[in-house]
Structure formats: structure tokens, C-alpha cells
Structure 1
Amino acid sequence: MDENMKPMPPVGQEYARATGMAPALNGNVAAARASQRDFPNPMAFIHADNERRLPAFGGEFQPGLYRSVEARKFANPAPLGLSAFALTTFVLSAVNLGVRGVSVPNIAVPLALGYGGLVQLLAGMWEMAVGNTFGATALSSYGGFWIAYGVLLTPNWNILGEGGPYMAESGSASMGDSALGFFLTGWFIFTTILLLCTLRSTVMFFMLFFTLDLAFLMLACGAFAEADGNMEVSHKLHQAGGGFGMAAAFLAWYNAFAGIADSSNSFFLIPVFHFPWSEKGREDRIAAKSERDNA
């Protein structure tokens, strides 16, 4: 028997324990077994293509659905959209936190228009092409958010600055701060809707939208506090928004890595922690119960 075709010992997954051999990564049995011989790794066989399942849920951007899109014609666009969102959010959140004394957010404009805006919008359109309604809605919407926010911060547009329409109308910045609060509150409501659609997915995917939702809420409240003249409260709320935004950025990168990493490019995969009541969580409980019954 060819060495590459010899059965492998169980490797810590119900499927492997039940069948006595590890499922192939990316459909390549020989390569997967060779990789396990050369680089023993208990997480190496965390998923299998014969189950039509992705390496990790978060990278597919499909709430409640961890199975891959049937007959995909091109690569998974979700990691690209998540990465574009993560970097732009990271930079703006660093400014909101006042890292190294930076308080002017205009450095986020090129990222907001180019990477977080245009690239994320394109990723959302590609999600639509593979039939992923949630991914298309979320990535396209946040791409639109970053483009809008980049326009808002562009000096030549002067939407909120001195001499702008709000200053000319009211003679103070309070009307502009309230309008910004409306803008951010709308995105808080939208993110809450998406958050509800992640309750049957994974912990890491849910936490991404949960932290982002809190970031929008803190920033909206900060804008309203500034409109009311409570500058100290506004400063603290903006810092809180920056903190939650920073967490959302790293969670977006985490989920992006979950969608990128496989046996061809990584020695390990990262866990995404399926909720017990999710489809995958129920399957794991059923598999564990069957294993106990068989024992």
C-alpha cells in the first residue's frame, strides 16, 4: 500500500474518532496525511471538504450556516471585506483613543475611501454573486459607511467645520454634533439588526458585531454629549467608542484569518467557538452522545 494512503490515527475530532482516519483538508488526502506526518498538529483536521464545511465559520460571513457555498466559481470574498473593515476601524479607533496624542481623524480619510470603502464594497458585491445575502448586506453597507464617513471628514467638503452649513445655520457647532449623532445612531440601529442575525453562529462572529454595535453607541452618545456642551463626558464616550472599535478591528482580523488559513498556508487553524444552540453545536452534541452510547 502506498505510504500516503495508509490510515492515520484519530486526531481529536468526532469524525476522525468515528471513522478511524482523518478527513482531508481541501480535498487533498495525500497532502493532508503528509502534512500530519511531518508537522503533527491536533488542530490540523478541524474541518473536511467531504462535509462541505469551511475551515471556520467566521471567514464565510454566513450566520447560522457553516457550510460552503455550492459550486463556488471564485475565492471567498469575506476575508478581504473583513480585513478592509478591520484596518480602517483600527486607525480611526486609535485616533478616538488619542494614541500618541493624535486627535485629528483625517488620516482615516484615504483608508475610508479606498480600502474600507471601495474594497469592502467590492467584497460585498462578490458576496452577492455567491448568494450570501448577509455578507452582501453587511460588507456593502459598511463599505458605504466608510465612503460616507470619508466624505464627512474631507476638508474640502467642510460638512461639519467652520463656515459649513451647520455652523452657518446655528452659529455654533452643536447642530453639527447633533446631526453627527443622528448619523451614528442610524448605524448603531443597523448593526443591532445584524447582531441579532449572528446569535446562532459562533462566539467570535457574534463578538465582532457586539463590539462594533457598542462602538457606534458610544460614539453617537459622545456626539450628543458634545452637542449639549458636556465636553468631559463626550471625551470619555469617544474613548470608550475607540476601545470598542479597536476590539471590533481585531475581531474582524481574527475572523478574516479564520477564513484564510488552511493546510496550504498555515500550520494551525484558530477556533471560532460555535454556540451550543447553533447547527454545528447541535451536531457536536449529537456526535458526542453517539460516541458515549457506542462506548
Structure 2
Amino acid sequence: MSTEAEVSNNGALEKDVGGIAPQQSSETAPDVTPMSAHEHEVARAAARFGYGPLAHVNTTDATLRPFGGEFQPGLYKPVTDRKFGNPAPLGLSAFALTTFVLSAINMNAADITEPNIVVALAFGYGGLVQLLAGMWEMAVGNTFGATALSSYGGFWLSFAIVLTPGGFEIVDSLGGSSSKEFNYSFGLFLMGWFIFTTVLLFCTLKSTVAFFLLFFFLDLTFLLLGIAYLQGGGTAANPKIAKAGGFFGLLAAFAAWYNALAGIADTSNSFFILPVIHFPWSATGRSRREKSERELA
């Protein structure tokens, strides 16, 4: 059995992320503004892609399905009467820009050799702003988003603390950036984040391709950069491996921006909706396949 998704009070088309909103009783349901002929056409076109007020959903499925822009890889209960916006695009954007700049430097863009400019971004945007976005994810009930965004916000803050010139003197206390002790210590630091990212990656295997690729590219970035510092001979990071890590870091940055745009763009502000492509074994993939089989029967 299927039903139509709800229309917002002001008549604007809402973006469906694969789930359904809680049903309101007939006594308390607000008046719904009738849709114009043009809005009906847009809604019918949108329904083909699984979003919009005419998108058919399973009424027995009371959970939202995976969607990259919501930074939620698994099934979870929808937030009832949520008065907050989606904090995921903000956190994703903060992560993406900081990762982009550092990865470009790791690939020796414009012959830049020192990542000092990243310290400002790591403190202000990738660190503080992403941490705040993670805390708001907790407020809206998204445990995965809160864990991931807050943790990577903490990563950028700790990264900035390590590399602050003349500040915390962590590099100098370890013998300088060319010392064996610093490079091995920083390599272990990065390998720890590789392990953490692998844990999160496992939680995206039933999600969307865009969401999975974000963590897959980031996982390879941490792995390669960790190996670069551990296998650099103790005096400097292996330049070829570090450059490879920078390449996958760029891919992770663009994947984060893609997921951020997927969470921002809807029929009220964009002429297009980014496809996030659900895995065929995910809940959404299975339901769409079953629907197609019923239509062919």
C-alpha cells in the first residue's frame, strides 16, 4: 500500500529523503494550500526520482532511509516536529574546504611546502564550525552525524594545535619536523584516524554511493599519509606516498561537497536534485527493485 508524501504548510514542495513524515490526525491537520497545475507537473516529475509530494512510499516503513545530505547512513526514526535545519551540509562544507587546501599542499600545488595556512582553516572552519555542526546533529537525533562531524572537527583542532608555529611547541619538543620522533609520532596519529574512519566506513555499506565514497576516499587518505610518515625513513614523509594521499584527499573533499549540495538543494531553491544512487542491497534499493518487479508483473 502506498500514499502521497505530505505537502508543507506554505505549499512549497518538500524534498523527500526516502522516508515519510509522521501522520497528523484529521482534527489537528492544518489547511493545505492547493497546488497549481505547474506545481503538479513538477511534483509528478519529481516523483519519478523518489522525492516530492507525489512520491509513493511504503506506509509500513516508519523510518527515514539513507541519504548523503542528511549525513545519516542507516535507518533511523524521523525527528517529530523538528524545528532545526539540517546541520550536515555545514559540517560537510567545513570538512571539505579544509581537506581541499591541505590535500592540494600535499600534492605540492604552486610549490607550497609548508601547510601553515591550513592552521587558520583547521581552527576556525574545519575545527570549530564542524564541531558545532556535529553537536547540532546530536540535537536532531543523528548519532552517526554527531559522532563523525564532531570527531573530524576535533581532528582539525588537534591538527592545528600540533602545527601552530611557535604556539604549543609540540613539533619542537619532538625534535623538529624532520626528526624521526616527530614523523613516527605523526604517522601513528594519522593511522589512528585511519582506524576510526574504517569503523565509520563499515556503517555506510548499506547507504548511498556518494556517502560511501566520501568515507572510502578519506580512509585511503589517512592510510597513505600515515604510511608516508612511518615509511619516510624517519626524517621526512615519503613524498610519493604523501602525494598519493593528497590526491585521495582531494577526492574526499569533492565527495563531501557533493553530499553537502545534495543536502542543500531541493525543489524550492534548485532546478536539479543531485542523485546519490542507493546501493541495490540497501533498504531503498530493495524497495525500488520490488516496486519495479510489481510493475512488470
- TM bin (shorter chain): 0.7 to 0.9
Aligned counterparts of 1:172 and 1:89: Cα–Cα separation in 2: 23
Return the match for 1:244 from 242, 248, 256: 248
Distance 1:148 1:180 in 2: 11
In the alignment, which residue of structure 2 is the partner of 1:105? 115
1:30-62, Cα deviation, whole Å (9 max, x unpaired)? 568525658996688641357588798101111
Within 5 A, what are the aligned runs for 1:148-159?
A: 148-157=158-167, 159=169
Equivalent residue pairs, number:
270
Does structure 2 conserve the Cα–Cα contact (< 8 Å) formed by 1:77 and 1:127?
A: yes
TM-score, L = length of structure 1 = 0.82
> 2:175 aligns to what?
167
Partner of 1:189: 195
Q: Which residue of 2 aligns with 1:198?
A: 204
Q: Which residue of 1 aligns with 2:22?
A: none
Classify 1:23/1:55 alpha carbon distance in 2 versus 1 (closer, same or farther; 3 Å).
farther
1:23–1:267: structure 2 CA closer, same or farther, 3 Å change rule?
A: farther
Evaluate the alpha carbon distance shift between residue 141 and residue 86 of structure 1 in structure 2; reply closer, same or farther with a 3 A threshold.
Answer: same
The Cα of 1:158 is off from its aligned counterpart by 5.4
Q: Determine the C-alpha separation between the residues in 2 that align with 1:32 and 1:268.
A: 20
Q: Distance in 1 between matches of 2:33 and 2:64?
A: 16
2:101 aligned with 1:95, yes or no?
A: no
List gaps (5 residues or longer) in structure 2: 8-12, 16-31
Task: Say whether 1:114 aligns with 2:124.
Answer: yes
Matched residues in 2 for 1:199 and 1:290: separation? 26
Task: In structure 1, give the amino acid aligned to 2:70.
Answer: E
Tell me if structure 2 keeps the 8 A contact 1:26–1:263. Answer: yes
Q: Report which stretch shifted further, 61-70 or 124-133.
A: 61-70
* SS in structure 2 at match of 1:70: coil
The correspondence for 1:69, drawn from 68, 79, 83, is 79
> CA 1:249–1:210 in structure 2 vs 1: closer, same or farther (change >3 Å)?
same
1:115 to 1:259, Cα distance in 2 relative to 1, 3 A: same
Say which SS state the counterpart of residue 226 (structure 1) adopts. Answer: coil
Which protein is richer in helix relative to its size? 1
Say yes or no: does 1:224 pair with 2:230: yes
Alignment identity in percent? 54
Partner secondary structure for residue 216 of structure 1: helix
Provide the alpha-carbon RMSD of the alignment.
3.0
Q: Give 1:286 deviation, angstroms.
A: 1.0
- Contact 2:65–2:283 (CA under 8 A) maintained in structure 1: no
- Which of 1 and 2 has higher RCO (CA within 8 Å, sep 6+)? 1
Distance of 2:65 and 2:39 partners within structure 1: 16
The amino acid of 1:89's aligned partner reads T
Question: Aligned in 2, Cα 1:33/1:234: closer, same or farther, shift over 3 Å?
Answer: farther
Q: Deviations over 1:102-157 (max 9, x none)?
A: 12101111110011100000000000011111000000000000000011110023
Q: What is the match of residue 7 of structure 1? A: none
Q: Is the 8 A contact 2:210 2:276 kept in 1?
A: yes
TM-score w.r.t. the length of structure 2 is: 0.81
Name the CA distance, whole Å, in 1 between partners of 2:40 and 2:118. Answer: 43
Q: 2:221 aligns with which of 204, 215, 219?
A: 215
User: Residue by residue, what CA displacement relative to the aligned partner does 1:242-270 show, whole Å, maximum 9, x if unpaired?
Assistant: 00000000000000011000011000001
